[in-house]
Amino acid sequence: MKTAEIARRYLDYFEKNGHTIVPSASLVTDDPALLFTVAGMVPFIPYLSGDVPAPYTRAADNQKCIRTNDIEEVGKTPRHGTFFQMLGNWSFGDYFKEGAIRFAWELLTSAEEDGGLAFDPKDLWVTVYEDDDEARELWLKIAGLPEERIQRLGKDTNYWSTGLPGPAGPCSEIFFDRGPAYGIDGGPATDDDRYVEIWNLVFMQYEITNVRSKYDFDIVGELPAKNIDTGMGLERVAFIKQGVDNMYETDQVRPVLDKAVELSGRRYGANHEDDVRFRVIADHVRSSLMLMSDGVTPSNDGRGYILRRLMRRAIRSMRLLGVEGPTFAELFTVSRDAMKEAYPVVETDWARISQYALAEEETFLRTLAAGSAILDDSVALTKKSGATAIAGSEAFLLHDTYGFPIDLTLEIAEEAGLSVDRAAFDTLMQEQRARAKADARSRKRQLADTSVYRDFRAKGETGFTGYTDLETESSVLGILVDGVSVDRAAVGQIAEVILAETALYAESGGQVADKGVIVGPGYELEVLDVQKPVPGLVSHTVEVTTGEVGVGQPATTVVDAANRRAARQAHSATHLVHAALRDTLGKTATQAGSLNRAGYMRFDFSWAQALSDATKSEIEEIANNAVRDNLEVTTRVLPLDEAKSLGAMALFGEKYGDTVRMVDIGGPWSRELCAGTHVSTSAEIGLINLVGESSVGASNRRVEALVGLDAFRSLAAERALVSQLTTTLKTPRDQLPARIAELTASLKAAEKKIAAFESKALADRLPALTATASTVGPYAVVAESLGAAASADDVRSLALQVRERLGSQASVVALGADVAGRPVVIVATNDAARAAGAKAGALAKAAAAALGGGGGGRDDVAQGGGTDAAALPAALSAVTGALGA
């Protein structure tokens, strides 16, 4: 009986018995806690929990599921698969135990001609929850099973709950006995592969609370509406009905296995390790096909990573079977043909699915070729050295340089009887990501000697289309990794990519590089930096985030539009501020450098003294007046000499060819040679807010400004602060400076008075503190908490005075206080105490340990501190305890 036929019979049976047939939900669940639909109940959780009223009282379905927590068991047992189909029938407050048991038994044991599955009752066993007498009696009555074939089991196997407060209940499971050839007698309780669970009936009848674990909770009472949740494993029933040994040999899976046998030239059943590989291939190819049919694509995180892992495990298994070349074209086609009867989408969406499958295989085969040899050497060297773990640096090299996945390294190491220093690998990965994100600009000149760009530059200049376009289709002319020209770069690698054309702006003229991505067939690159290593050539520093990029492939540059818009605003604002500076300070205030990026600009200029507040305000006003006037921004490409004759200013540090680009804002008022990107009219800048002016050298100054929305947000924050101050201080805005100065002066005077008062108060306690001296061993000891103190110096002074009062006997003084919310302990010892072995530094450390901090000092006086002022009594006790030890 074919798998699809079993599913059809199941759904037909329950439809005839009043159940609504519900289509399978997608493998991609919308539950944020789950990557995939991992069980048949997942789509019904809102109904079972009562969060959403069920739209039907009875339902049945065949739900697609993906579960990878047992991925290492795939191929090793007869029943573990990553993709599986769960047949289920559901009752929402309708029938309960008797109905569920009756339906299950009738469908399983009815003759095929009557629409049943024709299981022989003598081959079936049942388990019930150990306290569920009702279910046991129903099985006896409905199925007529002998008592010995109804086994009672505990909560760990026969009680269902989510592990959270809510619905729960006992289970009853149905098993098929495969016979003595598969294991010992004794029923499901023997936990043997001989007895295969085919159907689980969950009776949701209780409300639980105080959940301490999945199997430890309190039952509040029975649910007002009891539910039935059942699951019959379609693949398990199929391999039994088809008379094969495992799910990998069923009609929907075996064709892939057979094709793998054909391609490898090896025989299935001849070698256990090869058999496991054949089964892994059969399972993973089908699982990958089904995931892609639900829209999942290979990637480096989330669902895409699971798919990529499945596909790459299949590819590697084929390699271990001796097949070096690509096989997915044939394996996926066979799987499609086996599954299309049940899931027509695998055929109708075949063009897209096959494109992703073949691209992924091509990429990973190259990765395997480069990485496997290196890993084999690493395994051999590790064993030779007597170590048991491959160094994390080796695993990182494989990942970073060759795109070799860490999970594959772990698997290969485990097969060789080794582990991998995963902690060291993770540390290196974190460091690499930090370097890639935060320090790309410092790497840009280290990646390659400029001579390596000659061949690329010889093919012509890189066309820049970014003045008018934010996306441009091009092709990959070259790839550099660590300064060496290579054919391709894989996931996780940092590389330089040379394109024929680009819409991404390369850093120049003070404008930082664009943000964006480069995409192509089967790959995506995050752009970390864009530079011109040699004139006329643009190099993109990228991190390969998806797939693998190769020379000659199509590539589309995609500019981050929002970032570009803000960068244009900042660059045009820089021109306006430059013009405003020259208007205010004169023509000698010449440009000496600039930087502009999204929302921010800075401008360095020649000037010998700080700008007054009035001058800064004037510059800011002139620039913003230009914004208000909505001046036209025009660009012209013309001979350098002509541009200079028109008064265009050349920017600091820029080299110009015979032909230049001139940018006018408001005509000649702002006229500069500039290759940067700009707004169309000055009003698009929005707002310029000067936020800083400082010295950057003996004769150079720097102004900084926020631009556009960043400028607005800064001013809005200041406005809110001023409003809060006027309200709190009950002072008009124009009088705030004077009022704050008055309050500051009053506060300082008050602080001085308080400090003097506290110091005197402490000094007045000298006689009383001296009187508290007690004898600890050979020492006279004063150990007291002073409460609050103005400063540690006051506590120290008082401790020294108490020590003097105690005279020549061996004396130790330990005084604690709360100084500005932090605990301090001062320890002082006299000559006689030190001669007897009492050292202030060691005693202060003991006190500090109790305070959760540190301390120490000289033998005669020392200080300890911490964070927990409430622990001062314990700290003082630690001092006396140390003296008495």
Per-residue pLDDT averaged across 278-298, rounded? 92
How far is it, in rounded angstroms, from Cα 41 to Cα 428?
41
Q: Give the residue carrying structure tokens 């995939």.
A: 36
- Residue 532, helix vs strand vs coil: strand
Q: Helices then strands (H, E): number in the chain?
A: 27, 35
What residues contact residue 354 under an 8 Å CB cut-off, 6+ apart?
329, 332, 333
The token pair that represents 778 in the structure block: 């050979």
What residues contact residue 676 under an 8 Å CB cut-off, 6+ apart?
505, 508, 509, 510, 511, 571, 596, 663
The DSSP bridge pattern shows strands 83-92 and 58-66 to be: antiparallel
The CB-side HSE value for 473 (13 A sphere, CA atoms) comes to: 2
Supply the mean pLDDT for the chain.
88
What residues contact residue 258 under an 8 Å CB cut-off, 6+ apart?
268, 334
* pLDDT at res. 678: 95
More confident position, 190 or 162: 190
Asked whether the beta carbons of 307 and 296 are under 8 A apart, the reply is: yes
> Sign (positive/negative) of CA torsion 504, 508, 509, 510?
positive
The token pair that represents 843 in the structure block: 């005693």
Q: How confident is the model at residue 813 (pLDDT cuts 50, 70, 90)?
A: very high
- Residue 330, helix vs strand vs coil: helix
* pLDDT at res. 448: 41
The CB-side HSE value for 232 (13 A sphere, CA atoms) comes to: 29
Q: Which of 140-149, 209-218, 598-607 has the lowest mean pLDDT?
A: 209-218
> Sign (positive/negative) of CA torsion 566, 568, 571, 575?
negative
The CB-side HSE value for 809 (13 A sphere, CA atoms) comes to: 15
How far is it, in rounded angstroms, from Cα 246 to Cα 120?
19
In this model, does residue 512 exceed pLDDT 90? yes
More confident position, 302 or 285: 285
Asked whether the beta carbons of 800 and 826 are under 8 A apart, the reply is: no
* pLDDT at res. 483: 86
* pLDDT at res. 440: 41
How far is it, in rounded angstroms, from Cα 541 to Cα 480?
9
Q: How confident is the model at residue 451 (pLDDT cuts 50, 70, 90)?
A: low
- Residue 637, helix vs strand vs coil: strand
Q: From its phi and psi, is residue 18 left (phi > 0), alpha (psi between -120 and 50) or beta?
A: left
The token pair that represents 837 in the structure block: 């072995």
In this model, does residue 438 exceed pLDDT 80? no
Write the CA distances from 330 to 297, 417, 583, integer angstroms: 19, 33, 74
- Residue 832, helix vs strand vs coil: helix
| Cα of 332 vs its chain's centroid, Å | 31
Q: Give the residue carrying structure tokens 């074939």.
A: 149
pLDDT digits (tens, 9 = 90+) for 5-33: 999 999 999 999 999 999 998 998 866 56
* pLDDT at res. 445: 40
In this model, does residue 269 exceed pLDDT 60? yes
Write the CA distances from 842 to 516, 832, 845, integer angstroms: 59, 16, 5
Binding residue positions for Zn(2+): 571, 575, 674, 678
The token pair that represents 191 in the structure block: 């936990």
| Cα of 402 vs its chain's centroid, Å | 22
What residues contact residue 378 under an 8 Å CB cut-off, 6+ apart?
390, 391, 394, 398
More confident position, 427 or 132: 132
* pLDDT at res. 436: 53
> Sign (positive/negative) of CA torsion 759, 760, 763, 765?
negative
Asked whether the beta carbons of 421 and 409 are under 8 A apart, the reply is: no
How far is it, in rounded angstroms, from Cα 300 to Cα 285?
19
Closest CA to 13 of 176, 230, 195, 177: 230
Q: How confident is the model at residue 867 (pLDDT cuts 50, 70, 90)?
A: confident
Q: How confident is the model at residue 443 (pLDDT cuts 50, 70, 90)?
A: very low
The CB density around residue 181, as the number of other CB atoms within 10 Å, is 7
Closest CA to 158 of 139, 183, 180: 139
Closest CA to 248 of 452, 1, 80, 470: 80
In this model, does residue 373 exceed pLDDT 80? no
What residues contact residue 621 under an 8 Å CB cut-off, 6+ apart?
none
Closest CA to 303 of 520, 68, 84, 75: 68
Asked whether the beta carbons of 176 and 238 are under 8 A apart, the reply is: no
pLDDT digits (tens, 9 = 90+) for 664-704: 999 899 999 999 999 999 999 999 999 999 987 656 789 99
The CB density around residue 83, as the number of other CB atoms within 10 Å, is 25
* pLDDT at res. 552: 93
- Residue 550, helix vs strand vs coil: strand
Asked whether the beta carbons of 700 and 666 are under 8 A apart, the reply is: no
Q: How confident is the model at residue 442 (pLDDT cuts 50, 70, 90)?
A: very low
Closest CA to 176 of 90, 79, 260: 79
Per-residue pLDDT averaged across 532-544, rounded? 90
The alpha-carbon radius of gyration of the chain (Å, integer) is 39
In this model, does residue 885 exceed pLDDT 70? no
How far is it, in rounded angstroms, from Cα 546 to Cα 301?
9
The dihedrals phi and psi of 589, each to the nearest 5 degrees, come to -80, 75
Write out the DSSP string of 700-755. Answer: EEEEEEEETHHHHHHHHHHHHHHHHHHHHHT--GGGHHHHHHHHHHHHHHHHHHHH
In this model, does residue 652 exceed pLDDT 60? no
Closest CA to 411 of 328, 316, 321: 316
Q: Give the residue carrying structure tokens 């093919």.
A: 459
In this model, does residue 479 exceed pLDDT 50? yes
Query: What does the buried/exposed string (b/e) look like for 183-221 if buried means 16 or more CB atoms within 10 Å of the residue's CB?
Result: eeeebbeeeeebbbbbbbbbbbbbbbeebeeeeebeeee
Query: What does the buried/exposed string (b/e) look like for 253-279 if buried means 16 or more CB atoms within 10 Å of the residue's CB?
Result: bbbbbebbbebbebebeeeeebbbbbb
Q: How confident is the model at residue 369 (pLDDT cuts 50, 70, 90)?
A: confident
The token pair that represents 694 in the structure block: 């400082």
Asked whether the beta carbons of 10 and 107 are under 8 A apart, the reply is: yes
> Using alpha carbons only, what angle is made at residue 392 by residues 374 and 412, rounded to the nearest 5 degrees?
50
Binding residue positions: 571, 575, 674, 678
More confident position, 875 or 404: 875
Q: Give the residue carrying structure tokens 């309050």.
A: 743
Q: Is 486 exposed, middle or buried, given 0-12, 13-18 or 19+ CB atoms closer than 10 A?
A: middle
How far is it, in rounded angstroms, from Cα 821 to Cα 824?
10
Strands in 700-707's sheet, in edge-to-edge order, are 591-597, 600-606, 700-707, 688-695
The size of the chain, in residues, is: 885
pLDDT digits (tens, 9 = 90+) for 574-597: 999 999 999 999 876 778 788 999
3-state secondary structure 149-196: HEEEECHHHHEEECCCCEEEEEEEEEEEECCHHHCCCCCHHHCCCCEE
Q: How confident is the model at residue 446 (pLDDT cuts 50, 70, 90)?
A: very low
What residues contact residue 724 under an 8 Å CB cut-off, 6+ apart?
none
pTM summary value = 0.52
Q: How confident is the model at residue 439 (pLDDT cuts 50, 70, 90)?
A: very low
Per-residue pLDDT averaged across 460-466, rounded? 92
DSSP letter (8 states) at residue 508: B
How far is it, in rounded angstroms, from Cα 815 to Cα 784?
5
Which percentage of the chain shows pLDDT scores above 90?
Answer: 52
Q: How confident is the model at residue 444 (pLDDT cuts 50, 70, 90)?
A: very low
Closest CA to 335 of 359, 312, 302, 311: 311
The dihedrals phi and psi of 526, each to the nearest 5 degrees, come to -85, 125
Which percentage of the chain shows pLDDT scores above 70?
Answer: 94
In this model, does residue 408 exceed pLDDT 80? no
The top-scoring range by mean pLDDT among 66-75, 412-421, 489-498, 760-769 is 489-498
> Using alpha carbons only, what angle is made at residue 643 by residues 642 and 646, rounded to the nearest 5 degrees?
90
